[in-house]
Amino acid sequence: MRLERAALIGFVAAASLLPLLWRGEYVLHLGIMVLFSLVLATSFNLIVGYVGEFPLGHMAFLGIGAYTAALLSTRAGVPLWATIPLGGSVAALFGLAIGAITLRLRGPFFVIVTLCFAEVLRLVANNFVWLTNGPMGVSGVAKPGWIEAQGALGQKISFFYIGLALAAAVLHLAYRFVYSSLGRAAVTVRENRFVAQSVGVSPFRVALVTFVLGAAMAGLAGAFYAHYISYVGPETFGFPFMAATIIMVLLGGKGTLVGPVVGSVAIVLLEELLRDFKELQLSVFGAIVIAVVLFLPRGLMGFLARRREPIERRAGAPRAAGEVADARGA
């Protein structure tokens, strides 16, 4: 618990120094994408890592948040400071509605229905031209005036710190959830639903609360993305976002708070390195998934935790032996 909290605080502190150390637009853009991916991966990790459900249509909430922010900004002139929380709120409402239905299903049925939900929303975004502008998407999502008044570098720095504040808030919320009684109940549900029921935990209620929280976080990420890119299209509901998020969580380590941080940094940088090799990119990502499943089923953080356990036991053994000797001497 303490180590995980220290790692998260250390990441936020180190990230806050990035604009001071590297003032290039390219590096700041990568930093912004890492922060966006971190929020998205954390939202997905809460559901798959702590409840044990696998919502393959999780990107629906990303798209809902993005379209909410884009439409409110372009048609009603709502500012960024309001559209981001509203995007998260609307996504949470959709999460409540879809979770109340899908979480009663088990196994592949839950996965398929959530995927269908995302596909339905993609079709809506493509065909409801009067609302979403169809395949052309919604462009011209406004940036705050104080950001537009700056140069290109200043805009990147501003969005970086907005993204960092959002990521810090999401990590804090996830931390408070995981180490609360509700978070411990979610882990119990993940391990064994029947044991959870036997101690008075409602698996459906716990899963629904976690599902709604994850949907809200994804909506926040989508709203932030809409303002940063200044465009939202039907591809926001597509599978590429989902595939990258899955790899981030699996590579970093599902069921840990630091795992999405590690995974988002690694995958965003790897995507950038392979940007000019799209076919190779898919092959590399496929190889990563296979390697993680075969050799690192608990991800990088799980691997490090497993390596640390024998060291801690060896460090604790002499103390335990000394305590026994003292007890005998007494």
- The answer to whether 214 touches 58, Cβ cutoff 8 Å, is yes
Q: What is the pLDDT of residue 307?
A: 67
- The answer to whether 178 touches 257, Cβ cutoff 8 Å, is yes
- The three-state secondary structure class of 155 is helix
In which residue are the tokens 């950001």 written?
147
Q: What is the pLDDT of residue 25?
A: 92
Could you give the domains of the chain?
2-297 (1.10.3470)
Segment-wise mean pLDDT, segments of 10 residues, the chain, 330 residues: 88 94 90 97 96 93 97 94 96 96 88 92 94 93 89 93 97 96 93 89 94 97 96 90 92 92 94 82 83 83 70 51 40
Count H helices, E strands: the chain?
16, 2
Beta bridge partners of 231: 139
Per the structure block, which two tokens stand in for 289?
């998934």
Entry pTM: 0.90
Q: Residue 281 to residues 1, 26, 129, 300: CA-CA distances in angstroms?
A: 35, 20, 33, 20
Please give the full DSSP string across 47-85, using - where no structure is assigned: HHHHT----TTTHHHHHHHHHHHHHHHHHH---HHHHHH
| CB count in 10 Å sphere of residue 3 | 10
Which of 186, 195, 251 is closest to 47 using CA atoms? Answer: 186
Beta bridge partners of 138: 232
